Amino acid sequence: MFEAVLRDAPAPPPTLLSEEERMFQLSAYQFAVKEIGPSVREMDREGAFKEDLLKQFFAQGYMAISIPEAYGGAGGSFLMSVLAIEEFARVDASASVIIDVQNTLVSNALLRWGNDAQKSHFLPRLARDTAGAYALSEPNSGSDAFSLETRVREEDGDYILNGRKLWITNAKEAGLFIVFATLNRELGYRGITAFLVERNAPGFSVGKKEDKLGIRASSTCELLLENCCVPKANVLGEPGSGYKVAIETLNEGRIGIAAQMTGVARGALDHAIRYAQQRRQFGKALSEFQAIQFQLARLATEVEAARLMTHHAARLKDAGQPFLKEAAMAKYFCSQVAERVSSEALEVFGGYGFTKDYPAEKYFRDSKIGKIYEGTSFMQLQTIAKLILGSR
């Protein structure tokens, strides 16, 4: 049933997109349905993403949407990245996470903060065959992102990193990691520095893979840095500017999470609508009962609001306009909507929704992470409050 509903689900609803954007959105959804859809349940069950699928992501350009053509990318807008993330998440949130981290965090950080040599060396690889990961979180550094314990010292013209990172998305697949560490502890957050660490760097290793509730096919692992040697040429930005790299990149990453959660909500609603039209009780389809009609109408309204908030924040970013408040609002609202819509969609399925034979429970599990990673809902509310109160 899962694959059949995906094939028959309606195309993305019309929004204020250019013809190029609309066609890109539709092609992303069709690709996700055809290529990702048949493997969703297997990947979720096994907790692993198929290597062949990742190769297809590269071949089709989804890992380099916003990388300029001069570096082998598609040269697309930030909104186009958001559209692909959203449409992939309608089919599988794990697949969406992979292209989200690549486009909104890793490539984005390199484009903004990398020097010419770094861009020339790393961006073509990110476009061609190298997945990236963003390594900020640590065992004692979650929402308090800058209380980092990973340390750096200079030695023979290189930097030596020692520490442990946790909950690093794409770690199993990645060949390039943006690692944040403290170069000068006395300076506090102003001593934090961002490093471009390759997977084969001496002293670097990927540790335990987490066994998660949702987005199970997306790898989440610890990183171990044991006298990890990184050349000075691999400092991203300037020494001590790591906090700026992290803040500015995560501000944009919030929009990617909003797109993920919008896609999860939309996918859950697609399945609920189809099931309500097919399931018969008391001699008629569930969709003929006014209570179900009103429930689905309310959920559809919330999904559309989430979509518009996300697209608006992405457009502001593309236009070079301030978007911090809108990004935080979108991330907060869309994660709330995803959890609520996927929960009620599961209830439309009744007892079947509680089983793994139907897709409703997976959308529900996948929705929960939206309130947690790249800034919890409380952190988004704190950001929003500061901005609205400060503007009066």
Catalytic residues: 374
Q: Is 77 within 8 Å of 108 (Cβ atoms)?
A: no
Distance CA 10, CA 381 (A): 34
Q: Is 197 within 8 Å of 123 (Cβ atoms)?
A: no
What's the one-letter identity of residue 355?
Answer: T
- Residue 298: count other Cβ atoms within 10 Å of its Cβ: 13
- In this structure, the strands spanning 235-236 and 192-198 are antiparallel
Distance CA 383, CA 313 (A): 15
What's the one-letter identity of residue 164?
Answer: R
Which candidate, 151, 237, 145, places its Cα nearest to that of 195?
237
Phi, psi at 288, each rounded to 5°: -85, -10
Query: Would you give the end-to-end CA distance of the chain in angstroms?
Result: 52
Q: Buried b vs exposed e over 333-369: b needs ≥16 C-beta within 10 Å?
A: bbbbbbbbbbbbbbebbeeebeeeebbbbbbbbbbbb
**Burial class for 62, CB neighbours closer than 10 Å (0-12, 13-18, 19+):** buried
HEC sequence for 11-29? CCCCCCCCHHHHHHHHHHH
Q: How far is CA 345 from CA 214, 309, 335, 355, in A?
A: 17, 22, 15, 13
